[in-house]
Structure 1
Amino acid sequence: MISETALLLALLALVMALAAIGIAWMMWRRSQRKLEAMSTLMRELARNRDSYRKQLEELQTANIGMGKKLNELGRYLAALREQQQELALKDPQSKLYSRAARMVQLGADIEEIMAECDMPRAEAELLLSLHRRR
């Protein structure tokens, strides 16, 4: 027959084995929960990354469109400048009006404008009233 001591030792060993199994089980469950939390976090980060990537692509597309529009506006502005220069060369009278407008901005009176720009009083008065309203 097995002695009581041997039986107690066997029972103690069984309890310790069960305790070790229980502890291992709890540690495994804790690591499983951490793994699940990390997996959830990774999925969320991947969604965020994809969202940011899409936003970046949209911004790049908008920048390309804006660049094209700026080039178009630059060409349009250059054409307008060219037309303005052509008009200025074709109409020598416009030079006098530009000069008179500058004189008005500098504070010249009607007499000065008439004398410097060889302009009749009515035109000088009209120019003076137009440019002082602005």
Structure 2
Amino acid sequence: MWLQPAFILAMAALMLAMVALLVAWMMWRLCQRKLEAMSRLMRELTRTRESYRKQLEELQAANIGLGKRVAELHRQLGLLQEQQQELALKDPQSKLYSRATRMVQLGADVEEIMAECEMPRAEAELLLSLHRKP
């Protein structure tokens, strides 16, 4: 009875089915491990993304603050430039020095500067030495 072909065939089919089940179970376990590894990776990527999102928000806030500061500095610079122009217009002496400086840059000598700007020789010589191109 044990060696009948039907019995041998049934045993072979049972063995094949067991091998197939074993292979299927091993593949299922492998897929489970891969899924767990992918899940861990996804959690890590989510944490990293959140960290980058927070850093980006901080940078955006800092950028906004910096932009406001630059705008304020630009406004202050405009005010200072206006004040400087007003002072230049109010101070006739500075006009003379500006004119004398331009004359030096155009190549005027001490005598011309003294005559045109009504300044003493020492001041004219000082302007020449300060603003003459080498």
In 2: Cα distance, 1:20 partner to 1:125 partner: 108
User: How far is 1:36 from its partner?
Assistant: 1.6
TM-aligned CA deviation for residue 107 of structure 1: 4.5
Q: Which residue of 1 aligns with 2:92?
A: 92
CA distance in 2, matches of 1:83, 1:59: 35
- Structure 1 partner of 2:80: 80
Q: How does 1:55-70 map to 2 (within 5 A)?
A: 55-70=55-70
| Long gaps (5+) in structure 1 | none
Which residue number in structure 2 is paired with residue 129 of structure 1?
Answer: 129
Deviations 1:18-63 (A, max 9, x none): 0110111111012112212211221222122112111211211111
Instruction: Quote how far apart the aligned CAs of 1:78 are.
Output: 1.4
Distance 1:129 1:86 in 2: 28
RMSD, aligned α-carbons: 2.2
- Cα separation, partners in 2 of 1:29 and 1:107, compared to 1, 3 Å: farther
Displacement after TM superposition at 1:132 (Å): 5.3
Partner Cα separation in structure 1 for residue 47 and residue 127 of structure 2: 65
Helix, strand or coil: the match of 1:60?
A: helix
Q: Which amino acid aligns with 2:9?
A: L
Partners of 2:107 and 2:36 in 1: CA distance: 80
**Partner residue in 1 for 2:19:** 19
For residue 35 of structure 1, what is the amino acid of its counterpart? L
CA positional deviation for 1:106: 4.5
TM-score (norm 2): 0.84
1:32 is aligned to 32
Aligned residue pairs: how many? 133
CA distance in 1, matches of 2:108, 2:34: 83
Q: Deviations over 1:64-95 (max 9, x none)?
A: 11111111111211111121121112112211
* Inter-partner Cα distance in structure 1 for 2:107 and 2:29: 88
- Structure-1-length-normalised TM-score: 0.84
